């Protein structure tokens, strides 16, 4: 009856990822003592919906060892822009407040687990993993007090044509 016990045994409760927005980004991500996995998603995104159960499984599997968080790009526009998120879903891996790896687009749970384990145990990785290049970023700083929600203006000189 081992198989039946596994099928009908009560399951451990699922841990929800921490919700991050512009108001709590610094406290939850930049100052996190634990390594952190941040899922940046947007409403109406099909691949984001496919990634949601994987992120929830990661939160349950790494409880207490790695902090798992999610951020709606539409609600946290300032930090989505600061992080350079150009598409969703984007999964960012942080260690000591620094981005150490980034994956844009949907990838399966096996890849997410491998990335999480590798970043949790070894820190920043110098070699590409399965064709993805690791990204090192500067430490994130809180926004300036004078214009907390203002982003730098875009001039017509900074826009280039792709034709």
Tokens read off for 129: 């993993």
Residue 31: CB partners within 8 Å, gap ≥ 6? 97
Catalytic residue among 48, 58, 83, 107: 48
**Which among 30, 45, 61, 125 is annotated as catalytic?**
45
**Catalytic residue flag (residue 115):** no
Nearest CA among 20, 17, 156 for reference residue 77: 20
CB 55 within 8 A of CB 17: yes
Per the annotation, the verdict on 45 as an active-site residue is yes
Active site amino acids:
45, 48
């Amino acid at each position: 009856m081992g198989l039946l016990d596994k099928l009908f045994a009560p399951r451990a409760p699922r841990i929800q990822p921490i919700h991050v927005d512009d108001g709590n980004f610094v406290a939850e991500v930049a100052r996190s003592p634990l390594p952190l996995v941040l899922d940046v998603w947007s409403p109406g995104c099909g691949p984001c919906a496919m990634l949601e159960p994987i992120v929830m499984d990661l939160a349950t599997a790494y409880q207490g060892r790695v902090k798992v968080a999610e951020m709606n790009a539409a609600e946290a526009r300032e930090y989505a822009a600061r992080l350079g998120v150009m598409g969703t879903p984007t999964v960012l891996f942080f260690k000591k407040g620094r981005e150490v790896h980034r994956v844009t687009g949907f990838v399966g749970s096996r890849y997410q687990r491998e990335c999480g384990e590798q970043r949790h145990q070894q820190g920043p990785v110098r070699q590409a993993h399965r064709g993805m290049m690791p990204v090192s970023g500067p430490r994130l700083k809180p926004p300036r007090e004078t214009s907390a929600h203002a982003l730098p203006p875009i001039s017509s000189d900074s826009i280039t044509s792709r034709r």
